[in-house]
Chains A and B, each alone.
Chain A
Amino acid sequence: MSEITVLCVARESELGQVSDLLGDQLGVSVLDAVSLDDAEETLSETDIDCLVTEYDLPDGTGIELIRRVRTSAPSTGCILYTDAEPRTIADEADSGLVTEYVDRDGPVAADRLVELVTTTGRLRTQTAYPLPENESERLAVLDALDFDAPSLDRAFNRITELAAHYFDVDRATVNVIDEDTQEVLASHGTDWTSLPREDTICTYSILDDDVTVVPDTSTDPRFEDNDDLDDMDVHFYAGVPLTTSDGLPIGTLCIYDEETRELSDEDRQFLELLADETMHWVSLHSRLDQQRTVGSPTEGS
């Protein structure tokens, strides 16, 4: 497991207590800030897994800070650790802002904070989308794969071109689903490179072993309010997970169209066939990389 980074934001007189609690008990990497400005400066320089903030800050409130974090890095775990009046907090949040809350004066406040930082950091429990069961393992495998080889790039491009022509759609892509983004490795008909995971349909299709078809994005409750899809003129989607031999879904092969449509059983099978072909290339290159590593002389020997 990679180390969890926590940003603690509190008044100067109380900061040490919270930082020490997390640093000593959990052994996580703790960054400190004493104001909204201070916290924003840290956030602009460093990615964090979890934010622990007091409500009353010298230049604003913890709710303002959480709102800003939700805009820039929406999946960050946010915890209000405060003695402020709950009603004041809820009134400012107004509604719709999801955050953990720990009453700092509560009898087991310190234990609860440690527990919640561990959970939100390790399990990433504040994403607005479900995660695959084996998410950590999946990300580790993805991290170990190298997609930079030119021949792999050519193969992916051919597959997207073939998919777009066969299905008579305007766009096709090969993607990997990273921790917070969907990285487009190859595409036909688009220049997309990276998309926020929270806003993509592939985020949902990697959860299903089968082909995911969204005949009309404007009538699917998960995507009907998704302005990004509207802006990209995506009204039809079909995608199939790219799955390793160990059953880990690392990405997707998908097709998009500006017109709504259906997909026949035969078409679904062909999309699966193309996904198998894509993974065949990934496996082949992975094996070649391993052989090269084993065959090359050890550095410095």
Chain B
Amino acid sequence: MEPDPKFRYGFQPRLPIAEVRPGTNFLVSGSSANGAREIALDLVTSESGNVATLLVSADVEGEVLLEYLDDGRRTVDRSMLGAVDCSGVSPGEDNRFTAHDEPISGPGDLTALEIEFSILYEKLVGLDPDEIRIGLISLSPLLAHSPIKEVSRFLHMLTGRIIATGDLGVFVVDSTREDPETVETMSQFCDGHVEVRETRPERVELRVSGLPDQPEDWTPVEYDVALDRWDARSSETD
């Protein structure tokens, strides 16, 4: 069946980001790295039903990332959810939909990551969802373990796939850990760049560049964002 040309990826009404075309890729970064991670989790969920979400978890264990996503603040269908865990922290956790017994050794294993991603993606496609949202949180551990050239090739391949399949891609980079040139390069593989900054405890603002009809100026996110929970977990994986 041909896809509906009018179909758009919408977001939760509380998130000040307008709907986008299928095949759109976002990079999310900013001075609030944890804010970027939380906004990315908002972007990969929706209030509309029959949404499959595939997460690649590099900052924290896959199970923890799924807990953060499904913490009661977002609409999530657990049966349509999967995570590829390449944090290298917790082998064999239950929520991976993988076909293999062994975990990915760590965020530097790009071949294993692609294989696990493809297998999980096909399983989600088999559930016949209306939308597939893909989130990689975050690219920074990948950049710490592989040359920027190979991470670029990997990101280019994923964003290209997302364009081809008409899915939604959300990629986080921790700009507090990376040089501006690295963040800029990663953003050049994506259509839109969402920047996030903290204004006061649990509150952030965002702005979007590269896409039409999105907030270009700093716009407050009018709800509490769980910024602190990442710090303890991230320090464990460092």
Contact = CB atoms under 8 A, between A and B. Distances in A.
Interface string A112-129: 100110111001011111
Contacts of A204: 185
Nearest to A214: B181
B164 A115 contact: yes
B157 A98 contact: yes
A270 B99 CA distance: 59
With a 10 A CB-CB cut-off, give which of A98, A108, A116 has the most chain B CB atoms: A98
Interface stretch (A13-21, A33-41, A218-226): A218-226
A99 B111 contact: yes
Contacts of B126: 107
B155 to A, nearest CB: 9
Contacts of B110: 95-98
Contact of B115 (A89, A126, A130): A89
Nearest to A102: B118
With a 10 A CB-CB cut-off, give which of B102, B161, B165 has the most chain A CB atoms: B161
Contacts of A94: 111
A31 interface: no
- The B contact surface, by secondary structure, is helix
Given A125-B157, A221-B182, A90 B111 contact: yes
A58 interface: no
B181 A207 contact: no
A101 interface: yes
Interface in B168-210: 178-179, 181-182, 185, 188-189
Nearest to B178: A221
B161 A116 contact: yes
Contacts of B105: 95
Given A101-B115, A102-B118, A222-B185, A125 B150 contact: no
Nearest to B145: A95
B150 A98 contact: yes
B17 to A, nearest CB: 21
A119 B164 contact: yes
A287 B182 CA distance: 40
Interface string B153-169: 11011011101110000
B157 A100 contact: yes
Contacts of B188: 130, 207
Interface in A58-96: 86-87, 89-90, 93-96
With a 10 A CB-CB cut-off, give which of B126, B163, B181 has the most chain A CB atoms: B181
B163 A87 contact: no
Contacts of B125: 108
A198 interface: yes
Contact of A130 (B119, B122, B147, B156): B156
A103 interface: yes
A75 to B, nearest CB: 9
B188 to A, nearest CB: 4
A128 B157 contact: no
Contact of A222 (B148, B150, B156): B148
A106 interface: yes
A126 B156 contact: yes
A87 B119 CA distance: 12
B160 A123 contact: yes
A87 B112 CA distance: 8
Nearest to A224: B148
B152 interface: yes
Nearest to B152: A128
B115 A86 contact: yes
A26 to B, nearest CB: 13
Interface of B: 99-100, 102, 104-105, 108-112, 114-116, 118-119, 122, 125-126, 145-150, 152-154, 156-157, 159-161, 163-165, 178-179, 181-182, 185, 188-189
Question: Which 4 A-B residue pairings sit nearest by Cβ, starting from the closest?
Answer: A125-B160, A93-B111, A130-B188, A90-B112
8 contacts: A95-B112, A100-B118, A116-B161, A118-B164, A120-B157, A126-B153, A126-B157, A222-B182
Given A96-B150, A98-B114, A100-B161, 10 more contacts: A95-B108, A96-B108, A98-B110, A98-B154, A107-B122, A123-B160, A123-B163, A127-B156, A204-B185, A220-B181
